């Protein structure tokens, strides 16, 4: 018997303007999550968005993300944004409890779960 398997994985063929488009369309939701939900300042949120942009461009060129549809890429981006916002706010609190109950409740939630809510909001706004 001489069966043979495939040696080489297909490289990512996604165009950079597709990535730009997914990021730009998500930016309003990300910004409002960082500022309104996670209570980052405007300046902190802008810094976060710059980092997220750099990271997202590379995410889209990874082995498993190169062919993924825009929606799944967006969910990954929103999830990263929520993790960023949560980590930053926890760092600012320095181990103290958040005085604000809404913020405390948000910080207690999993970032992926919050990202799911944001994605639904994104879809609703565009439907």
Partner 1 sequence: MSGRVLPFRHRPLSSEAGIEAARKVLGTPLGERIARTRVLHLEDPETLLALCGMLRERMGTAPASVLEEAEFLYRFIEAPKREIGLFDERDYFLGETALLAGTACRWLSRREEAWIWFDRSEAGFRHTMNAPGELSRLAYQRLAERLEERQLDLVIELLPSLIESFQKLGMPEDALKCRFLEGLAHIEKDEPTAAIAVFNQICGEAEERGFDRLLAESYINLIHAHGMLGEADAAIEASRRAIPILHGQDDRIGLAKVNWGLGILLRESGHLAQAIDSYRKAQEDFEILGMRADVAALNLVVADLLLEEGRSVEALREISEALPVISELNMAPEGMAALALVRESTRRQEINRQALRELHGYFQELQN
Positions in the binding site for partner 1 (CB under 8 A): 1-12, 47-48, 50-51, 54-55, 57-59, 61-65, 67-69, 72, 76, 79-80, 83-84, 86-88, 90-91, 93, 95, 97, 107-108
| Shortest Cβ 114–partner 1 spacing (Å) | 13
Choose between 69 and 126: whose C-beta lies nearer to partner 1. Answer: 69
Choose between 71 and 120: whose C-beta lies nearer to partner 1. Answer: 71
Percent helix, strand and coil across the chain, each to the nearest 5: 70, 0, 30
Choose between 11 and 17: whose C-beta lies nearer to partner 1. Answer: 11
> Are the C-beta atoms of residues 116 and 84 closer than 8 Å to each other?
no
- CA-to-CA separations, 119 to 5, 11, 29, 39, 93, in angstroms, rounded: 38, 28, 9, 19, 27
DSSP conformational letter for 3: -
| Shortest Cβ 6–partner 1 spacing (Å) | 5
| Shortest Cβ 37–partner 1 spacing (Å) | 15
């Amino acid at each position: 018997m001489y069966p043979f398997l495939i040696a080489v994985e297909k490289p990512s063929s996604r165009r950079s303007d597709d990535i730009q488009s997914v990021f730009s369309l998500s930016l309003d939701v990300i910004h409002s999550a960082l500022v309104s939900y996670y209570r980052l300042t405007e300046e902190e949120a802008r810094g976060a968005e710059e980092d997220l942009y750099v990271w997202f461009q590379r995410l889209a060129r990874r082995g498993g993300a190169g062919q993924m549809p825009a929606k799944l890429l967006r969910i990954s981006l929103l999830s990263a944004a929520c993790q960023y916002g949560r980590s930053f706010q926890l760092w600012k609190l320095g181990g103290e409890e958040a005085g604000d109950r809404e913020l405390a409740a948000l910080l207690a939630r999993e970032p992926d779960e919050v990202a799911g809510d944001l994605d639904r909001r994104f879809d609703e706004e565009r439907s």
